[in-house]
Amino acid sequence: MNTGHPDGVAALARALRERRISSEELTRTLLARIEAERELGAFLCVDAEGALAQARRADERLARGAGGTLEGVPLAHKDVFVTRGLPTSAGSKMLAGYASPFEATVVARLGAGEPGGPPGAGMVTLGKLNCDEFAMGSSNENSAFGPVLNPWDRTRVPGGSSGGSAAAVAAGLVPAATGTDTGGSIRQPASLCGVTGIKPTYGVCSRHGMIAFASSLDQAGVLARSAEDCALLLSAMSGHDRRDATSSERPAQDFHAQMRAARAGADGGRPLAGLRIGLPREFFPPALAADVAAAVRAALAALEKLGATLLDVSLPRTELAIPVYYIIAPAEASSNLSRYDGVRYGHRAAQYADLAEMYRRTRSEGFGAEVKRRIMIGTYVLSHGYYDAYYLQAQKLRRMIAEDFQACFAHCDVIAGPVAPQVAARLGEQAHDPIKAYLADIFTLPASLAGLPGMSVPAGFGDGGMPVGLQLIGNYFGEGTLLHAAHALQQASDWHLRTPGATA
Ligand code: GLN
């Protein structure tokens, strides 16, 4: 049994509120750790002065018994969220040195609050985190600013695209970080780095100020040490935003209170009694690595011991999620990225004869190989004559994939399986084989296409002592159920408490 990680958000928020530590002291400690761990490549920019100023203001509010729900707790943001006063690059040379005139809603809500709105949660921003260029990738090797190393084994990738977020939390540089998930970019790095990550239902968090990759799939979320910590941040960052037309009209929810209420109502040693967990047989194919399968099965057995019932279910179109996603996401990306034309944002080629050449050179120089590949695929599938054959077909299949989930949710509450088919790969292993990387997204893409919430929960260790994540997928707006199940598991296990260098 455990009561959460001592360096986790919940514990730190409590210590700050009870004035056992100061935010300034905590901020200094983490800034020193970040400095000592520069080799990891997790941060693209560190704002020591700004963070200390925020921390001092937080300490003043705490001294008055005031402040937000997470007042003074430090965090860092994936560099896909725009921030005022700090550069935002989305891991791309195209945006190197770009400074936004406004702040993403998620950033504002976790920090000082939106302009003219209520005060925010009061968290202290330490800096911005490395990621794959425009969030395209699953190893963080597509960042224009270099890869991120996995803190569990520095010869391996941390996963992606939120690789900096996952590595920073795993290495103890921040208690929590924001991330974005379009097809798995929170869950997969969380799994590969042994931290807890949640991508909520599409629309729960505002996309305002989140640099667009594939707008119908992009969602903001959190990576932290525990489900409880994720619940605390998610409550603060979610809720309707009139600046994002796709943001849900539902009022902001207190996921933390829901998680606790569910636990209080639960029967003693069986907090998950009555919870039906569906295991899609397509999530346990023969090709699934044995070490991953074993860890996932052990976590499922632990959930069963807590009272959950495991059921066999089927998501028959799982395999189709790969071609469907890799048509829809590039199609939307090719449209979203057309705004980087050298006129409005970021990079512009130094030399050109005319406007057409300026566009061509700017985009050739500014984008990396993977981004160019996606723009080409996207432009192709949207072009006249191919639109019906590819894009329209993919949209139809996307709907069928979503329907398969609803058929499962008719008789189960949560769907579970692995997050990734293997533990973290060695750096460089997949760099020249994009198809191999795309295929490894198989278990995370379906929930993204359906717009469902998904989590990665640490579930032990596989080959080389590398972390393995259990994926939990909920029905629409079922974040509370996911967080409750994950929290119950974390109360009864200690996988999430292990840190790199202390695996034994
Ligand atoms: N790995 C997937 C891709 O490369 C998902 C990325 C993401 O979720 N942002 O598109």
Predicted TM-score (pTM) of the model is 0.97
Q: pLDDT value at position 433?
A: 86
CA distance 303 to 401: 26
CA distance 101 to 111: 16
pLDDT for 19 beyond 90:
yes
Q: pLDDT value at position 263?
A: 62
With a CB cutoff of 8 Å and minimum separation 6, the contacts of 86 are 45, 47, 50, 99, 125, 127, 128
Averaged over 332-341, what is the pLDDT? Answer: 97
Report the half-sphere exposure of 141 (CA within 13 A, side-chain side): 19
Of 494, 212, 490, nearest in space to 345 by CA: 212
Q: pLDDT value at position 264?
A: 61
Cβ proximity of 214 and 181 under 8 Å: no
* Index of the ligand 1 atom closest to the CA of residue 182: 8
Q: What pLDDT digit, counting tens, does each position of 290-310 carry?
A: 999 999 999 999 999 999 999
Q: Which two tokens stand for residue 65?
A: 């018994």
**Going by CA atoms, what residue is nearest to atom 10 of ligand 1?**
136
**Per-residue pLDDT band at 86 (split at 50, 70, 90):** very high
pLDDT for 502 beyond 80:
no
Separation of 448 CA from ligand 1 center, angstroms? 10
Strands 414-418 and 454-461: unpaired
Strand ranges inside 419-490, DSSP E? 454-461, 467-474
Averaged over 39-58, what is the pLDDT? Answer: 98
CA distance 71 to 49: 18
Alpha helix (H) ranges present in 238-342? 255-265, 290-305, 321-336
**23-36 and 48-63 helices cross at what angle (nearest 10)?**
160
**Torsions phi, psi of 272, nearest 5?**
-105, 15
CA distance 59 to 204: 30
> Is residue 446 lining ligand 1, measured as CB closer than 6 Å?
no
Strands 414-418 and 276-280: parallel
Per residue in 41-78, is it b (16+ CB within 10 Å) or e — as a string?
bbbbbbbeebbbebbebbbebbeeeebbbbbbbbbbbb
Q: What pLDDT digit, counting tens, does each position of 221-269 carry?
A: 999 999 999 999 999 999 999 999 999 999 888 998 888 776 665 666 7
Strands 43-46 and 124-129: antiparallel
Cis peptide before 162 (omega within 30 of 0): no
Q: What pLDDT digit, counting tens, does each position of 454-497 carry?
A: 999 999 999 999 999 999 999 999 999 999 999 999 999 999 99
Q: Which of 122-131, 142-151, 389-398, 431-440 has the lowest mean pLDDT?
A: 431-440
> 75: which strand partners?
125
Tokens 């976590």 belong to residue = 299
185 is catalytic: yes
Domains of the chain: 9-269 (3.90.1300.10)
Best probe residue, ligand 1, of 129, 133, 134, 136 (max atoms within 8 Å of C-beta): 136
Secondary structure class of 264 (helix, strand, coil): helix
- Residue at 498: amino acid letter: R
> Is residue 185 lining ligand 1, measured as CB closer than 6 Å?
yes
Q: What percentage of the chain exceeds 70 in pLDDT?
A: 97
> 196: which strand partners?
224
Q: Mean pLDDT, the chain, as a whole number? A: 95
Q: pLDDT value at position 287?
A: 86
Averaged over 395-415, what is the pLDDT? Answer: 98
pLDDT for 1 beyond 60:
no
pLDDT for 503 beyond 60:
no
> 270: which strand partners?
267
Best probe residue, ligand 1, of 78, 132, 218, 324 (max atoms within 8 Å of C-beta): 132
Euclidean distance between the first and final Cα of the chain, in Å? 18
With a CB cutoff of 8 Å and minimum separation 6, the contacts of 418 are 191, 283, 284, 288, 292, 293, 296, 443, 468, 469, 470, 471
* Index of the ligand 1 atom closest to the CA of residue 213: 9
**227-237 and 255-265 helices cross at what angle (nearest 10)?**
140
CA distance 243 to 227: 28
**Per-residue pLDDT band at 3 (split at 50, 70, 90):** low
